[in-house]
Structure formats: C-alpha cells, structure tokens
A and B are shown apart, each in its own frame.
Chain A
Amino acid sequence: MSERDVILSAKDVEVQFQVRGRILTAIRGISLDIYEGETIAIVGESGSGKSVFTKTFTGMLETNGQISNGSVIFEGKDLTKLKKDQDWEGIRGAKISTVFQDPMTSLNPVRTIGYQIAEVIIKHQKKSKDEAKKLAIKLMEEVGISDAANRYDEYPFQYSGGMRQRIVIAIALACHPKILICDEPTTALDVTIQAQILKLIKDLQKEYGYTTVYITHDLGVVANVADRVAVMYAGQIVEIGKAEEVFYTPKHPYTWALLSSLPQLGIKGEDLYAITGTPPSLYDKVVGDAFAPRNPYAMQIDFEEEPPMFKVSDTHYAKTWLLDPRAPKAEPPKAIQNLHKRLLSITDERGDYRG
C-alpha cells in the first residue's frame, strides 16, 4: 500500500467495565491506524469486543465502562480525553456517525421519518426548517426511497426493515461524516436486502468520500466490502491485513478456525470444523495467548507468554507464536488451503453468479 493519510489512530487502547464490583477488561490493548477513504472490517464472535472498541471513537461506552489506557487520535484531538457530551458535539454524529444493527430500535417510533432526518440537519448544519426538509428529501432519494416527498411524513412502522435501514443510513450521512461506523448493519435483514444495503453504503462512499468501519461476524459480508480486515479475539486484534491476505493466506489459528467452520466450505457428509470450548473470561487476567485452550496448534509457550504481533508483509500482521522462526511449521486446515479455487469452482457451476 502506498503511503496514505491516517484518519484515526488508536494506540494501546484498553477498556474496562465495572460489573458488580468486579473489573472486566473488554479491550486489552489495541493499536490500529485507519486510513482515509478505506473500508476496514472488524470481525469477531460476540463478546470479542468489536463493538466496544469502536464505541470509544464516539464516546458511547456504557456508563460503567471507561478507557483505562491508551489514546484515540482524530483530527489532532485525543478522543479518550473527552468526557462531557458538549466536548463530543461536532464529532459524534457529525464527523463520526454510526449505523446500528437494528433499524427498529435506532429510529424513534413516534416521530416521522422526515423529522428524524431534518432534526440532524437543523442541529448540526444550522439550517432553517424548509432548507432542512429539502435536504432531507434529497437524502431519502439518495438512499433509494422512491416517492420520497410523499413518504417524508410517514412513521417508521410504515417502512419495511430494509427501508428503515436506508433511513438510518440517511440520518448518519446527513452531516457528511468523515467516518461511518457500520455496526452489524445487515444482520437483521434478509440476504437480498442485505446485498442491496451493502451496495448502497459502497456507492454512497464514492460520492461522500467517507471512511467505513464495518463491525460484523459475517465473513461473507467482510469479503464483499472490506479493503482491510482486522480479526478480534478476546479483546485484542489477533490478525490484520488486506482482505485478500486474511482470506487467502491467513496466519492465525483463530482465523483458520473461523474460516473452516463456514458451511460454504463444508464438504457434504463430513463434519464441519467446529471450534471447541468457549472464549476466556475477561474478568481474570489472561495468561499467554487467549486462544491457546481452544487451539489445536497450541504450543507450550502459548500458555505462558503472550505472543507479539509478527509481521507477515508490509500490510499483514498476526499475533501468534506460530510465526516465530523457532516454531514448527504448521499448515492451515485442508478446508481453507485452496479457498479461492474451491469457491470459484462452486460459483462457476452456476454460470450466472459472476459478472
């Protein structure tokens, strides 16, 4: 990758929650540079901390949570230092916006669709009511609502799930954000609608020029949208690289496990690869590699010492002792060795799949 401008830089971020008198360390030291104009996807199981991590970009951690270490630099400001809601004004919802998973709960059921879009424009862009309405209708058209002027005064319940998500996107884009965080934006939607929403976010990116941060557990979605992929496990990024690198030449055993458990790659009549056990409790201090107890490739050192990030290429890093020069050679599981070739053969059978 050529030298690109970093739009947001997280360094050694650690987030802790107070839960019934105990401390849970949800994020255990994440450093991540996000480049301007790229689409980066953060992947992980539920509880891996992917949502919590991005909530530090908008100051939306639950009240029992706090950033206990590290910094998040955006436009020269350290976002971890912002405490009060006034400090966040002009950033949250304006320069960094979020599209949430469930479009039913993120819209206000007793306000009209139009009001909810115009409200943001009036508040952040200091426009008059009439101007705001015009801009709102234009936005509704841009996100693909037909007959927008007439649907301006309708309520969320009159919209289908996919259309509601389009409205949420319209609201998020109302202030021309620099960064758009999409937190599982299509999980609640049907596959055909999902494909449309992903395409919409991609198409509007060309026009609005925002940087997109996807949070998802769906590797199919990741493959569709991402330039770069960060894989999270137990509050850390364990592998990061360009989408092609992470899908075609993954290095971390957890990434291997995630990919091989996909039914798309399953062989009929054989068991699917299943990850055994459960993620570690983050109430306790994690010793060594957090994935070690579930990792069939684990070595003695994995239980004793935390691995550093090993460099695979200029853009590809993985946090596993397997990359240490002293480690024995480990081959990724058979199911994912020829991932591209195997999936190509499936899609080639259906001639209509590829353009």
Chain B
Amino acid sequence: MANEKEVILSVKDLEVTFGSGKKTFTAVQDVNFDVYKGETFSLVGESGSGKTTIGRAIMRINPATKGEIYFKNKKISGKISKDLDKWVVRNIQMVFQDPAASLNERATVDYIVSEGIYNFHLYENEEDRQRKVVKAITEVGLLEEHLTRYPHEFSGGQRQRIGIARAMIMDPTLLIADEPISALDVSIRAQVLNLLKKFQKEKDLTIVFIAHDLSVVRFISDRIAVIHKGRIVELAETEELFKNSLHPYTKSLLSAVPMPDPQIEKNKQLIVYDPSQHDYSVDKPSFQEIKPGHFIWANEKEMEEYRKKIR
C-alpha cells in the first residue's frame, strides 16, 4: 500500500434495522470504517453478527436506517438519483457464497456473464460483446467452449469462477465477496483465493471480504474488522490484530481458529467470551482509536486497561 492512501469507501455511523414498531430488530449499529483503494478489507464475525447486512447496505440491497455511506466521495446511502444508482451498480459488484444458488440455472454461462454489460450497454456491437465475454471467462481460468453450457454442468469451484467472471466483466472498482469460498472444498478454496488476489494485483481492485473463518482472512486481508452483534468491536491491520488483539471477543474468536497442527491443537485453551464482563451502565462505550489504525469498541475505563496491555 502506498503512503498516500485514497479512501474509496467510507461508512459512517451505519445502522440497519429490520421490521418496525415493537418488532424492530437492529442488525447493525455504530458501524464506522474506511476502505482504501486496492486493499482487501475483511469483515469477520459469526452467523447473525450482521457482516452480510453491512455488505448488502453498501450494495443498497438493505437500506441504511441511519448513517451514511460514501463511495468515491459521493453519498450513496438514502435517496439518490437514478443515474447515481446506476453508477453504484456498475462500480460495485458482488460475489456470493453459494455458487449454485446465485447463478440462473436456466441461462447459459454466456448470458450469465454478459447480463451486466447487456444492462448497461457496455459493448459496441455483438462482436465486441463476445470478445469481452471470452476475455472474462478465460481470465477466471475457464474455456471459451464453456460459454454454451448451463451452471449445473459445472463443479462448485467452476461455478464460483463464473460468479467472479460475471462480476469482473463490469470492471468494478470495488468487489464485495460474501463468503466466496465457504461452500467449496479445501483444494478448490486455494484456487479461488488466488484468483481474487490476481485480479487485485492486475486491476487494482478493492475487495471487501466477508467471512467467518479467521485463518482465511489472515491470508487475504490487509485490514480486518471484527463484528459482534452488529457492532465492530475491533479493527486493525491484519498482523496487528493477530499479535495485539485487545477486545475479549476477538481473543475468543482467535482461540477458536483451528490450526492444522496436532500438538498445538491438543494443548490449546479455548477463551470463552462473556458479554456481561463489560459494565456499560454508567461509563458508555464508543469506537475509539487506541493506536494509529487500531480501533476498539470500549469505554474509558476499559481503554485505560487496554492501553496498559498494548505492545
């Protein structure tokens, strides 16, 4: 990363709620983060933590109840013009978890991959469209002959490649990858991760990576935000987070990551997170920077303790 970091996406005080009245459920609250151009920023949390909701709020699938989202310094949350909406869809693309469910099973790969450029008329003529589709499909390691086939004819890993081709043909600035490898076999995971990394290097793509598996996240991310119950509890650069985790929830998550090593695994101590250890009745918590680039959700008393511990 260059010294002069360009903020490409900025999320400020985001809150997303579902339902209304008494049944209101707050899925995400007090979420603040910036994503820099060309980096991989990961949102990590357990199921139900709200990580996917944040991704979907950026994509404008779930509207933000409070707060703002800026993409390239333009506000993209709340009511926006049609043109701006189109611009968002064109520049932010998404890759989903389940490659079987996210591809139209009645459409050929050719159509699935071209749908985006059809909608936006991003081609000059039929010849140009075909050229673009072939380029997109070969870039993800599939063959031109695959274009006439249907999704069910492919393995899980290949289907995820189609999903990536469909997103990358739009030449997006930002890619939101929501658990893109969770449904895949171990040996296939590596291929898909390498592919995402390749696009990042070649096209200066920015990736927001949503995952529950910290071991994968460590390998791929520049910075990580840990989410618990709809809040970011800790945010830091990857190595800083692994070496200097402060929040007890991050610690418990780290202790649960399985390591492929029998001796380490058999000696490991699980850290169980108990949310009642925080006393927020008087001293209210907020999202604070404890050292440059390292943020934590804590109140003043906890901050003091964390400052003593930090290395």
Interfacial residues, chain A to chain B (CB-CB below 8 A): 45-46, 161, 190-196, 199, 217-224, 226, 243-244, 247, 257-259, 261-266, 268, 271-275, 278, 339-340, 343-344, 346-347, 349-350, 352-355
- B170 CB to closest chain A CB (Å) equals 25
Q: For A220, give its contact among B47, B155, B243, B260 (CB under 8 Å).
A: B260
Return chain B residues, CB-CB under 8 Å to A218. Answer: 186, 258
- Knowing A221-B258, A271-B197, A339-B261, the reply to whether A263 touches B268 (Cβ < 8 A) is no
- Knowing A263-B215, A354-B268, the reply to whether A349 touches B242 (Cβ < 8 A) is yes
In the complex, 29 of the A-B residue pairs with CB atoms within 8 angstroms, ordered by the A residue number, are A45-B185, A45-B186, A45-B187, A190-B47, A190-B212, A191-B212, A191-B213, A191-B253, A195-B255, A195-B270, A217-B186, A218-B258, A220-B265, A247-B261, A247-B262, A262-B186, A262-B215, A263-B216, A264-B215, A271-B194, A272-B193, A272-B194, A275-B190, A343-B259, A347-B259, A347-B264, A350-B242, A352-B255, A352-B271
Q: Is the interface of A mostly helix, strand, loop or mixed?
A: helix
- Knowing A195-B270, A261-B186, the reply to whether A223 touches B260 (Cβ < 8 A) is yes
A263 and B212 CA atoms in complex are apart in Å by 14
Proximity bits, B172-211, A CB within 8 Å = 1, else 0: 0000000000000111011101100100000000000000
5 closest A-B pairs by CB: A220-B258, A355-B269, A263-B219, A272-B190, A274-B190
Check if B261 sits within 8 Å of A340, measured CB to CB: yes
- A32 CB to closest chain B CB (Å) equals 20
Check if A259 sits within 8 Å of B185, measured CB to CB: no
Return chain A residues, CB-CB under 8 Å to B219. Answer: 263-264, 266, 268, 272
Q: For A243, give its contact among B253, B262, B270, B273 (CB under 8 Å).
A: B262
Check if B267 sits within 8 Å of A355, measured CB to CB: yes
- Knowing A263-B190, A274-B187, the reply to whether A192 touches B260 (Cβ < 8 A) is no
A312 and B141 CA atoms in complex are apart in Å by 38
Return chain A residues, CB-CB under 8 Å to B261. Answer: 223, 247, 339-340, 343-344
- B179 CB to closest chain A CB (Å) equals 12
Interface size on B, residues (CB 8 A): 46
- Knowing A221-B258, A274-B194, the reply to whether A354 touches B186 (Cβ < 8 A) is no
Interfacial residues, chain B to chain A (CB-CB below 8 A): 46-47, 155, 185-187, 189-191, 193-194, 197, 212-216, 218-220, 242-243, 245, 251-273
A83 and B210 CA atoms in complex are apart in Å by 48
A45 and B187 CA atoms in complex are apart in Å by 8
Return chain B residues, CB-CB under 8 Å to A244. Answer: 262-263
A248 and B236 CA atoms in complex are apart in Å by 33
Return chain B residues, CB-CB under 8 Å to A339. Answer: 260-261
Extra pairs beyond A191-B212, A355-B268 (10, CB < 8 Å): A46-B185, A191-B213, A191-B258, A195-B255, A223-B262, A262-B215, A265-B260, A271-B194, A350-B254, A352-B271
Nearest A residue to B201 via CB reads: A269
